[in-house]
């Protein structure tokens, strides 16, 4: 009889990844953003849900685009408008179900399920996730693992300082022997497994900042609108004429849908070309001297920065040089963000890492600094690691700072999923699964007892 492989679900802010344990990449990667169309017939969600790449890109009258994640911990934006406290979990459940049952064509009740979570996930969310997998999905067995632990395993470095540069967050998590360190204590992956007890007085040090992919998108959006660029998404254009003079743009020929799509839908579609710009044009400033105050007069550079041309969806072509680095520079130097922060300005990524390392027990500091694992899709920015390494070497001149990142794009993007896939398929992990029977006996708090 063919063995039933476990499923691995890695919910991120931008996309939710799912696939079978033991494989190298997730079978599916679905947007975590969803559409909601007002529909009096479906009061459960206060509208009908549209989940998946095609659904959220369909032009539907009144469809609003939302994201059930807020702050990376599975709470909904809806909470902020205070009329649908629990709807977020219902939507989250539907997105997970869509990944497993629709995209993987799998019967979820037949597979053990491993789910990844951020280190800052609060207990109520961990318990809610446990309820969903046992009550709604009826899985035979389940486990919840910290993303940073998965990422350390995916990079064959169970002791490492994991830097995850994602969509809504960039986080730093020290992991020692597969155990993430947080708030003064070691969070044991599972008490029954004999992870080596750690005797240091550790009161460190997972930190996070919103300086990540979404921040870059916001900064680029601001930069483009300051330049006077029309932000018309591809999907809404009937045809385009190429032009280079912003003062004399050709008339736009737009598709006529018979209605005006919802503003959130338009912005979601604008994000598509902004993401493309980020991925193909943006570059990280990694010169020995600081980023020039006047980008039009940069002075001497170690190596000249190539000019690159980009065509916006409406046909506007523009050459970009140092302005390709303005948004990315704000990841390290947030006070230079083109769009200022409304609240306190966060610390730059390198400074955040320094805070985390400074709180580490002196015994392990050097080990962490020479085992820095950089993951997350935003870390794919051109010269990102070079810049990060440069800043960290300046901050820690003594110890040997060594960054490690996979050269393979999927491994960098899906690192947490891949680590989950490795863990869930290894024999020793089998004793960790929480069974349905254990859940029935103890309830959702089993997660706190078995997977801290
Ligand atoms: N090659 C690239 N260069 C720069 N940015 C990229 C690249 N590829 C993807 N991104 C950006 O990375 C972000 C998604 O990162 P990732 O998939 O790690 O996030 P996530 O896991 O969904 O979110 P989070 O970890 O914050 O919960 C998006 O903002 C996307 O535009």
SS (H, E, C) 359-407: CCCHHHHHHHHCCEEEECHHHHCECHHHHHHHHHHHHCCCCCCCEECCC
Measured CA to CA, the distance from residue 146 to residue 187 in angstroms comes to 10
String of DSSP letters for 312-337:
-TTSBEEEESGGGSHHHHHHH-GGG-
Instruction: Report how far ligand 1's centroid is from the alpha carbon of 231 (Å).
Output: 21
pLDDT single digits (tens) 401-450: 999 999 999 999 999 999 999 999 998 888 999 999 999 999 999 999 98
User: What mean pLDDT is predicted for residues 64-80?
Assistant: 56
The Cα angle at residue 281 between residues 27 and 214, in degrees rounded to 5: 60
Query: Where residue 292 falls among pLDDT bands split at 50, 70, 90?
Result: confident
Count the Cβ atoms, other than its own, within 10 Å of residue 382. Answer: 17
Q: Percentage of residues in the chain with pLDDT exceeding 90? A: 70
pLDDT of residue 39: 78
Q: Provide CB contacts within 8 A for 259, sequence distance 6+.
A: 61, 62
CB 43 within 8 A of CB 34: no
User: Does a cis peptide bond (omega within 30 degrees of 0) precede residue 205?
Assistant: yes
Residue owning the nearest CA to atom 31 of ligand 1? 275
User: Does ligand 1 have an atom closer than 6 angstroms to the CB of 75?
Assistant: no
Q: How many Å separate Cα 273 from the centre of its chain?
A: 18
Architecture of the domain defined by 213-336: Alpha-Beta Complex (3.90)
String of DSSP letters for 221-273:
HHHHHHHT-----GGGEEE---B--TTSPPPPEE---SSPPPHHHHHHHHHHH
CATH number listed for the domain at residues 7-148+412-450 = 3.30.420.40
Across the chain, what does the average pLDDT equal? 87
Instruction: Report how far ligand 1's centroid is from the alpha carbon of 51 (Å).
Output: 19
Measured CA to CA, the distance from residue 397 to residue 392 in angstroms comes to 8
**Mutational pocket test of ligand 1: of 377, 406, 420, the residue with most ligand atoms within 8 Å of the beta carbon:** 377
Q: Provide CB contacts within 8 A for 56, sequence distance 6+.
A: 31, 33, 34, 35, 50, 65, 268
Count the Cβ atoms, other than its own, within 10 Å of residue 255. Answer: 12
The answer to whether domain 7-148+412-450 and domain 213-336 are alike in fold is no
CB 10 within 8 A of CB 414: yes
pLDDT of residue 1: 42
Look at residue 294 and tell me whether its pLDDT is greater than 90.
no
Q: Which residue has the higher pLDDT, 75 or 300?
A: 300
Look at residue 70 and tell me whether its pLDDT is greater than 80.
no
pLDDT of residue 452: 75
- CA dihedral defined by 29, 157, 210, 132, rounded to 10 degrees? 50
User: Does ligand 1 have an atom closer than 6 angstroms to the CB of 11?
Assistant: no
CB 104 within 8 A of CB 110: no
User: Does ligand 1 have an atom closer than 6 angstroms to the CB of 13?
Assistant: yes
Place of tokens 């708090």: 445
User: Does ligand 1 have an atom closer than 6 angstroms to the CB of 413?
Assistant: yes
Strands (DSSP E) along 12-108, which ranges? 15-20, 28-31, 34-37, 48-50, 64-66
Q: Provide CB contacts within 8 A for 358, sequence distance 6+.
A: none
Query: Where residue 293 falls among pLDDT bands split at 50, 70, 90?
Result: confident
Q: How many Å separate Cα 365 from the centre of its chain?
A: 26
pTM of the model: 0.91
pLDDT single digits (tens) 157-197: 999 999 999 999 999 999 999 999 865 333 333 333 333 33
Domains of the chain: which residue ranges?
A: 7-148+412-450, 213-336
ipTM attached to this prediction: 0.99
pLDDT of residue 302: 58
State the pairing for strand pair 403-404/372-375.
parallel
pLDDT single digits (tens) 240-249: 999 999 999 9
C-alpha Rg value of the chain to the nearest Å: 23
Instruction: Report how far ligand 1's centroid is from the alpha carbon of 213 (Å).
Output: 5
Question: Most distant CA pair in the chain: distance in Å?
Answer: 71
Look at residue 44 and tell me whether its pLDDT is greater than 90.
no
Instruction: Report how far ligand 1's centroid is from the alpha carbon of 212 (Å).
Output: 8
pLDDT of residue 343: 84
Q: Where are the alpha helices (DSSP H) in 62-212?
A: 77-80, 87-97, 123-131, 147-154
Residue owning the nearest CA to atom 25 of ligand 1? 166
pLDDT of residue 427: 85
Buried b (16+ CB within 10 A) or exposed e, 298-317: beeeeeebeeeeeebbbbbe
């Amino acid at each position: 009889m063919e063995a039933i492989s476990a499923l691995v679900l890695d919910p991120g802010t931008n996309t939710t990844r799912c696939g079978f344990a033991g494989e190298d990449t997730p079978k599916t990667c679905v947007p975590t953003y969803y559409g909601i169309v007002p529909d009096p017939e479906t009061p459960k969600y206060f509208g009908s849900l549209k989940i998946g790449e095609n659904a959220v890109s369909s032009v539907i009258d009144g469809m609003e685009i939302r994201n059930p994640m807020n702050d990376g911990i599975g709470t909904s934006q809806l909470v902020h408008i205070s009329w649908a406290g629990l709807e977020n979990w219902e939507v989250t459940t539907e997105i997970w179900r869509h990944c497993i049952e629709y995209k993987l064509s799998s019967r979820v009740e037949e597979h053990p399920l491993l789910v990844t979570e951020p280190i800052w996930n609060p207990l109520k969310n961990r318990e809610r996730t446990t309820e969903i997998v046992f009550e709604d999905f009826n899985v035979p067995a389940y486990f919840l693992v910290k993303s940073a632990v998965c990422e350390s395993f995916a990079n064959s470095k169970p002791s490492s300082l994991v830097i995850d540069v994602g969509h809504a967050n960039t986080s730093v998590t020290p992991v020692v022997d597969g155990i993430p360190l947080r708030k003064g204590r070691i969070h044991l992956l599972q008490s029954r497994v004999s992870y080596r007890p750690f005797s240091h007085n550790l009161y460190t040090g997972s930190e996070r900042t919103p300086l990540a992919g979404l921040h870059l998108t916001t900064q680029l959006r601001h930069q483009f609108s300051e330049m006077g660029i029309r932000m018309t998404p591809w999907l809404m254009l009937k045809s385009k004429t190429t032009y280079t003079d912003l003062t004399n743009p050709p008339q736009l020929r737009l598709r006529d849908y018979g209605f005006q799509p919802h503003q959130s839908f338009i912005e979601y579609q604008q994000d598509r070309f902004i993401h493309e710009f980020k991925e193909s044009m943006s570059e990280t400033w990694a010169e020995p001297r600081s980023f020039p105050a006047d980008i039009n007069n940069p002075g001497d550079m170690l190596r000249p920065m190539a000019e690159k041309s980009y065509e916006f969806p409406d046909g506007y072509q523009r050459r970009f040089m140092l302005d390709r680095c303005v948004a990315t520079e704000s990841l390290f130097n947030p006070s230079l963000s083109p769009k200022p922060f409304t609240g306190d300005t966060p610390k730059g990524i390198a400074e955040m890492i320094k805070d985390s390392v400074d709180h580490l027990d002196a015994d392990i500091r050097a080990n962490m600094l020479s085992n820095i694992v950089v993951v997350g899709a935003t870390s794919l920015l051109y010269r990102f690691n070079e810049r990060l390494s440069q800043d960290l070497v300046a901050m820690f001149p003594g110890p040997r700072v060594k960054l490690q990142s996979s050269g393979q794009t999927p491994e960098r993007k899906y690192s947490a999923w891949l680590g989950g896939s490795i863990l869930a398929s290894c024999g020793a992990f089998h004793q960790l699964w929480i069974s349905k029977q254990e859940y029935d006996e103890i309830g959702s708090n089993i997660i706190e007892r078995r997977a801290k």
